[in-house]
Amino acid sequence: MSITAIRFASHIRSWLLIAAMTALLITIGAAIGGGALYLFAILAVGMNLVGYWFSDRIALAASRAQPLAPEQAPWLRRMAEDLAARAEVPVPRLYLIPSDQPNAFATGRNQRHAAIAVTEGLVEQLPADQIKGVLAHEFAHIRNHDILISSLAAMVAGAISAIATVMQFSVLFGGSDEEDSPLGLIGTLAAIVVAPIAATLLQLGLSRQREYLADATGAQLLGRAAPLADALESLERGALATPMSVNPAEASLYAINPLPRRGLATMFMTHPPLAERVRRLRALDGDRALALVA
């Protein structure tokens, strides 16, 4: 299957998953009962509207990213300009994240309003060809129109997790509405236990194929896959050595999962297995057309 066909299928699947996450938020309100259904329906619509217009600002603020000044890292800006020309997209805004872990993410509602944030660890620790490989991966997300979808998913998943936390305190301190509806307590418990897991699983389904596609598109932009494959291995080593403090709902935005790899968290990692990503990339260098290996 060609990259174009896989890209189209990925878009369809991604928007269906976004719709499923929105429906999950409304279902929580219906299960709780009372006026919660209407409140959560309004919240779901509001979250998607806010996500469309402000998801990039929220993601950048959460990562404490600062705009890269024109005089900072001019070589990085030249790399971005070169890749933007290859990807046929406008040059995105560049940001620097104060973290020693080498990593990066792209965000924004469309190609004209895109931003790429890289960590200090990325620009300080990786060689130039690997940094360009990571940037190519992020430019691939921009070219493939992934950035809005992934940002919306992160916002909705974060909202569901926050609601679950509020509901937990409500039950603990006797503030639930079970008297208004016989199913109120059941709905609240479902919101606490089931909803965050379901949101994570939906986000996982959204992220994995998207990352494979971005890897393949990034290799196309570079003309070969080795720099990106080498970079992913370097990022993984860096993430294992220096985990980042990131909201789990936003971890899927990054090139490599930035969170600690221990306990149950490893069961719900939104990124594909690194070994499989590298295997597919290495295989692409044997195919001069750089078609995605299924």
Predicted pLDDT of residue 277: 95
Cα–Cα distance between 198 and 207 in angstroms, integer? 14
| Residue pLDDT, tens place only, 166-209 | 666 666 665 544 444 444 566 666 666 666 676 666 666 666 77
- Predicted pLDDT of residue 289: 47
Q: Map out the domains of the chain as residue ranges.
A: 3-284
Local structure of residue 288 (DSSP, 8 states): T
pLDDT of residue 68: 93
d(CA 218, CA 216): 5
Q: Are 278 and 229 within 8 A, CB to CB? A: yes
Residue 122 has pLDDT above 70, yes or no: yes
- Which residues, 6 or more positions from 114, have their beta carbon under 8 angstroms from its beta carbon? 56, 89, 90, 92, 93, 106, 107, 108, 142, 147
**Distances from the Cα of 221 to the Cα of 54, 98, 141, 280, angstroms:** 28, 27, 12, 16
pLDDT at 33 over 90: no
Residue 35: per-residue pLDDT:
62
Residue type, 279: R
Q: What is the DSSP letter of 96?
A: E
Average pLDDT of the chain?
79
> How many percent of the chain have pLDDT more than 70?
62
CA distance 136 to 130: 10
Angle at 60 between CA 237 and CA 51, to 5 degrees: 115
Whether 229 has a pLDDT exceeding 50, the answer reads yes
Burial 118-153 (b: 16+ CB within 10 A, else e): bbebbbebbeeebbbbbbbbbbbbbbbebbbbbbbb
DSSP string, 168-208: HHHHHTT---TTT-TTHHHHHHHHHHHHHHHHHHHHHHHHH
40 pLDDT above the threshold of 70: no
Coil/strand/helix, residue 67: strand
Q: Please tell me the distance from the alpha carbon of residue 240 to that of residue 11, in angstroms, as a whole number.
A: 31
Percent of the chain having pLDDT more than 90?
Answer: 41
**Which helix H or strand E contains 117, and what residues bound it?**
strand 115-119
Residue 138 is among the residues annotated as catalytic for this protein: yes
Q: Summarize pLDDT for 66-100 with one digit per residue, the tens.
A: 999 888 899 999 999 999 999 999 999 999 999 99
Cβ pair 232, 103 in contact under 8 A: no
36 confidence band (pLDDT: 50, 70, 90): low
For the packed helices 274-284 and 226-241, what is the interaxial angle rounded to 10 degrees?
Answer: 160
pLDDT tens digits along 232-264: 999 999 999 999 988 777 888 899 999 887 655
The residue annotated as part of the active site, out of 120, 138, 178, 211, is 138
* Average pLDDT of the residues in 31-58: 69
Q: Is the pLDDT of residue 154 over 60?
A: yes
* pLDDT for the residue numbered 55: 78
The two tokens of residue 103 are 């990593």
Contact indicator for 278, 208 with CB cutoff of 8 Å: no
